Amino acid sequence: MDNKNLEPLRHSAAHLFAAAIKNIFPEAKLAIGPAIEDGFYYDVDYGELKISENDFSKIEQKMHELVKKWGEFEKKEITADEAKKHFKDNPYKLELIEEFSKKGEKLTIYRSGEFEDLCRGGHIDNPKEALKHFKLLSVAGAYWRGSEKNKMLTRVYGTIFPTKSELENHLKVLEEAKKRDHRKLGRDLDLFVFSDLVGKGLPLLTPKGTTLKRVLERFIVDEELKREYLHVSTPPIAKVDLYRTSGHYPYYKETMYPPMIVDEEELILRPMTCPHHFALFKSRPRSYHEMPVRFAEISPQFRYEKSGELTGLIRVRTFLLSDAHIITPKEKAKEEIIKVLDLIAYVNHAFGLKKGTDYRYRLSLGDRSDSKKYYKDDKMWDYAENILREVLKNQDVPFYEAENEAAFYGPKIDVQMKNVNGKEDTAFTVQYDFVMPKRFELKFINKEGVDEEPVVVHRASLGAFERTMAFLIEHFGGAFPLWLAPVQVVILPISDKFQDFALKIKETLLKSGIRCEIDLDSKTLGAKIRHSTLQKVPYMVIIGEKEVEANKCAVRTREGKDLGQLSINELISKLKEKIENFS
Amino acid sequence: MDNKNLEPLRHSAAHLFAAAIKNIFPEAKLAIGPAIEDGFYYDVDYGELKISENDFSKIEQKMHELVKKWGEFEKKEITADEAKKHFKDNPYKLELIEEFSKKGEKLTIYRSGEFEDLCRGGHIDNPKEALKHFKLLSVAGAYWRGSEKNKMLTRVYGTIFPTKSELENHLKVLEEAKKRDHRKLGRDLDLFVFSDLVGKGLPLLTPKGTTLKRVLERFIVDEELKREYLHVSTPPIAKVDLYRTSGHYPYYKETMYPPMIVDEEELILRPMTCPHHFALFKSRPRSYHEMPVRFAEISPQFRYEKSGELTGLIRVRTFLLSDAHIITPKEKAKEEIIKVLDLIAYVNHAFGLKKGTDYRYRLSLGDRSDSKKYYKDDKMWDYAENILREVLKNQDVPFYEAENEAAFYGPKIDVQMKNVNGKEDTAFTVQYDFVMPKRFELKFINKEGVDEEPVVVHRASLGAFERTMAFLIEHFGGAFPLWLAPVQVVILPISDKFQDFALKIKETLLKSGIRCEIDLDSKTLGAKIRHSTLQKVPYMVIIGEKEVEANKCAVRTREGKDLGQLSINELISKLKEKIENFS
């Protein structure tokens, strides 16, 4: 059963929740309670009361008790005046009533058992039988209507499924996701922190988090250089005019930082890199000889995100994008897009992600009838969409199409990635752009010696570093493969006596480019192993009497597997081989 | 003779220049004409006239002609009213007169030959004999009194020396510096550009410039990691409050960008990294075990520079600093500072710069009597200055001391670097800071289990990348040593026939990590060699019939030295050895 069919069930469960709340806390003022993707929530003004997870079992019990008497939902149409009278003590419902009636909407009240709520309908037919397998999940603050100017209400999230096993499965997934939550693991594994002093949504990567970032950065830069990308370095601020030229400023103004007046110029933090790369392209004439020009950059970008929308490393106010713009003659665009998908497949392969299982392609199309949202040029849209479709048809996995998901300057291919919740997010995109070349008057001199307009392929190979790191932390549950692990080996001398030998091993590993640490604490070996296991260090090298005598290392994996004694050279070649194979 | 003694000579030459101007262009309105470090200038309002370098010989001739009749400068004191009458047609002098007389200053006029100017004095005694070895150098626009709100005047720069040979030497140095000017070489070697679209003072590094930056970045990061720095990654923006806590905001407000209101927070582009590293340090308790903590970062920073002060890559509005903050127990500070100087010496060695010749150390002290500029704590200043002095005494080269050059939070060691003009600039600094630990309440738990306040050593190892790149471009005149060269080898097939072999050589070199290009143009070999020599590519590999037959490469340096035929493996090991030795 997909989520759409669950909506009436979840909506009905929200009613039941509200009924229980009014029964237990008669003073509570209900605000709104919709079905959402994974369940439902209800925002309530509890007045002076503090609701916490400790109250959940009591509320759930009451829900089970009340539902026994619930027959079918009864619909009643009422006038605005009647509604206002009915909800006279509830300022939230009164505000909604006012709004609906202004829009000329009909008002309806739905009743089941003794509980009535202002509601547009959409319930299940058999509450008594259906509203059984639910669970309240969490509590959070939420501003009335999402605005910080309004009162903070209390939101309780819950979920419900048609069967017990579906509910249990879902709770298991949630439990697993909680353990893998990158915010929790980020703290436990000391990868990143936030600081009230620095500001919201501005992560500070610790040494270990920075190592992960550096490994990713060098990996993608080196790979792109091999594939004849030209890495460039452009400033993170620019004149607002640059984004007026690109057309981003009116479109994306809401998500951009406010402009700063600096001397006689109006500067702004960049929300994307494309106009910078176009400016570089235009800095001298270009000949067909050097086309396509593939400008890539590990590019710091800035988005104005509301504080309520910030989430760990996933929604942040500044991030680093593995960005590129391929400026190509039109006839080579298809070939270039194929190459980009190949690069993305390579990156995903390095992360151990399988095409078709872990990710799939989506062809995101425009809407010919919406010339406000999409640049109007039907022929170009047809042409570009066909090219992308052809490319996808020749991939070895199925893809799907989505209407009204394109960029304003052209259609795109989205790489849809499954996260630990089993949900799909867009991880990377490949966009076909026939608008920016016109806006920036991009040209190259073709074989005939004539100016020709190129097209631009916008793409991200590794996405935003912060988001990708969050994804990888959750995907691996913090147990990174060797090549990504911030610390690859930890050396555990059994006692002080073996410290010198252990330090020599460390030196040798460091010189071979292996990231390693040594644990010189006076803890027992058992405690050291436990600690390193919790820190998810892939390999532990244990040094005791036998190892010093044999001039070898006793090697053990974080999974507890004993690899026996290895010479230092054997260990290094074993590790290097694994690193090269991204394992 | 040092520049101070040249001042009367140069000031007098400015008078002579002005006399010639009034003689040739009677309508010209003189503004001001001081002596400066390397000569003199005079700002003049020429009205409708356009003065260019083409006018210089005529003006110089007139100067030589007029000076023949110049006796000693005659001083005349006049009242403000007399002065206003005298300069009634010159709004610039009138403005100055008004100002001087408001301050109660006495007004004086100096006359030599037929020329009189408002002047405070300070001339040579024998103009006729002394004003001989001069030269006009360049012309530029300059706002009256440096403010963009005022009229743009025309500034002519000139220089003068006591002897002909001194003048000629100076002109030779200028000529050489002009050839090495990083702005010119940046264009010629395609290293960086500026774009009107993007904004002033915001350089865009091309692929080659970015390669240079990447080589420098990986070099310094890897070296710092070896030296147990912890590289971290903190956001380029933060709450203004962070800089209020550090005390930077009032001190450096003028050089900071304006704050941006984002949601409920007041954010600002960071002018330095230290407070970010302190926030990270404070994110969890620290024990003496892990001290000193050496946080390093390749850190984007932002400075509000007036457009008139922007200069190529040297003065920019955003830059990347190789920054670090060593948070150390006080008793280890000295040891840490010695280690920093060792790192800086290593970096300079890699650049081929010699201690004592190319750079020297300056101990920059505070001023105990200026408690507005310097944090007041005489004992701490004494202590810190002594530590730095002791460190410098134990270096193997002499150092010098400079009063009133410290940071507000403590004394520092400046690494003073000679540039191509022979002038000294501060390239890197090592600062001892006993103030920030208090402001940020930095602490660690010492061996006794008690909170202890550390000190902070601020340092830059490689400086600001942009400035360092500018320095290196000028220092090497664009002919970078192999390890830094954006393109290390260019492969020149003599004709199309040898293209396949040449491409194979390229592949092999690329796989070995050698940065190489291939010139497949249909030019003659001579033309290809000329082009690569102009582009200052260290090695050229020429592929013709003989090379294909022998399966070898004919290798030639950019200096024109023929290294004969080498096998590809011989070539690679030769290059790798050179790269490892920074040559």
pLDDT in tens, B308-343: 888 999 999 999 999 999 999 999 999 999 999 999
* Whole-number pLDDT of residue A1: 41
Of A258, A283, A300, the CB nearest to B261: A258
pLDDT value at residue B4 = 54
Q: What is the pLDDT of residues B512-557, one digit of tens each?
A: 999 999 999 888 999 999 999 999 999 999 999 999 999 999 999 9
**ipTM, 2 decimals?**
0.86
Q: How far, in Å, CA of B5 to CA of A271, rounded? A: 54
Say if residue A4's pLDDT is above 60: no
Q: What are phi and psi of B188, to 5 degrees?
A: -60, -35
Judged by CB atoms closer than 8 Å, whether chains meet at B264 and A148 is answered as: yes
Taking 80 as the threshold, does the pLDDT of residue B351 lie above it? Answer: yes
Residues B489, B461: contact at Cβ < 8 Å?
A: no
Residue B276 has its nearest CB partner, among A204, A211, A235, at A204
- Which of A200, A221, A263 lies at the smallest CB-CB distance from B306? A263
Interval A405-461: pLDDT, tens: 998 889 999 999 988 877 888 999 999 999 999 999 999 999 999 999 999 999 999
3-state class percentages of chain A: helix first, strand second, coil last, to nearest 5: 40, 30, 30
**A232, A268, A295, best to mutate vs chain B, most B CBs in 10 Å:** A232
Find out whether B298 and B322 touch, Cβ atoms under 8 Å. yes
Look at B129 and A37; give whichever has higher pLDDT: B129
Name the residue of chain A whose CA is nearest to B230's CA. Answer: A207
Sequence-distant (6+) residues with CB within 8 A of A231 are: A221, A224, A225, A295, A296, A297, A298, B207, B210, B211, B214
Output the six-digit token pair for B382.
């004494």
Whether residue B94 has pLDDT greater than 80: yes
- Per-residue pLDDT at B306 exceeds 90: no
* Cα torsion through A429, A434, A439, A440, rounded to 10: 70
Question: What average pLDDT does chain A have?
Answer: 93
Predicted TM-score (pTM) of the model is 0.87
Contact B112, B74 (CB under 8 A): yes
Average per-residue pLDDT in chain B? 93
Give the model confidence (pLDDT) of B2-54 as tens digits: 455 789 999 999 999 999 999 999 999 999 999 998 899 999 999 988 899 99
Lowest mean pLDDT among A485-489, B353-357, B546-550, B554-558: B353-357
Tell me, what's the pLDDT at B146? 82
Choose among A221, A233, A265: nearest Cβ to B199.
A265
Q: Of B30, B7, B10, B3, whose CA–CA distance to B131 is shortest? A: B10
Backbone angles phi, psi at A208, to 5 degrees: -70, -45
pLDDT band at B103, cuts 50/70/90?
confident
Q: If you search the block for the tokens 């892939």, which residue do you land on?
A: A538
Which pLDDT does position B1 carry in this prediction?
40
Q: A190-237 pLDDT, tens per residue?
A: 999 999 999 999 999 999 999 999 999 999 999 999 999 999 999 999
Stretch A39-67: mean pLDDT: 94
* pLDDT number for residue B466: 97
Structure-model confidence comparison of residues B78 and B219, the more confident one = B219
Q: Is the pLDDT of residue A3 over 80?
A: no
Both structure tokens of A570:
């054997």
- At B147, phi and psi to the nearest 5? -105, 130
Token pair 């619930």: residue: A70
Task: Please state the rounded mean pLDDT for residues A60-70.
Answer: 95
3-state secondary structure string across B515-527? CEEECCCCCCHHH
Q: CA-CA distance, B87 to B103, in Å (whole number)? A: 19
The Cα–Cα gap between B230 and B326 comes to 10
- Contact (CB<8Å) A231/B264: no
Residues 6+ apart with CB under 8 A from B477: B179, B180, B185
Q: Buried (b) or exposed (e) across B553-574, using 16+ Cβ within 10 A?
A: bbbbebeeeebebbebeebbee
Mean pLDDT over B482-488 rounds to: 98
- Here the tokens at position A24 are 């237990």
A253 has pLDDT over 90: no
Give the per-residue pLDDT at B487.
98
Give the pLDDT band of residue A340 (cuts 50, 70, 90). very high
3-state percent helix, strand, coil for chain B, nearest multiple of 5: 40, 30, 30
Closest residue in A to B208 (Cα) is A232
- Tell me the pairing of strands A237-239 and A265-269: antiparallel
Max CA-CA distance within chain A? 92
Mean pLDDT, to the nearest integer, of A86-103? 90
Q: B151: how many CB neighbours lie within 10 A of its CB?
A: 12
SS3 B444: strand
State CA A245 to chain mean position distance. 30
Q: Do B211 and A231 touch (CB under 8 A)?
A: yes
Least confident of A82-91, B159-168, B336-345, B524-533: A82-91
State mean pLDDT over A515-533.
93
Nearest CA in chain A to B318: A235
Among B119, B106, B103, which Cα is nearest to B12's?
A: B119
Query: In sequence order, what DSSP letters do the residues of A388-451 get, joined into one string?
Result: HHHHHHTSSS-EEEETT-SBTTB-EEEEEEE-TTS-EEEEEEEEEESSHHHHTT--EE-TTS-E
pLDDT score, position B442: 97
Distance (Å, rounded) from C-alpha A542 to C-alpha A566? 11
Can you give the pLDDT at residue B3? 52
The percent of residues in chain A predicted with pLDDT above 90, rounded, is 78
Answer yes or no: do A237 and B269 touch at CB < 8 A. yes
The nearest CA of chain A is from the CA of B346 a distance in Å of: 18
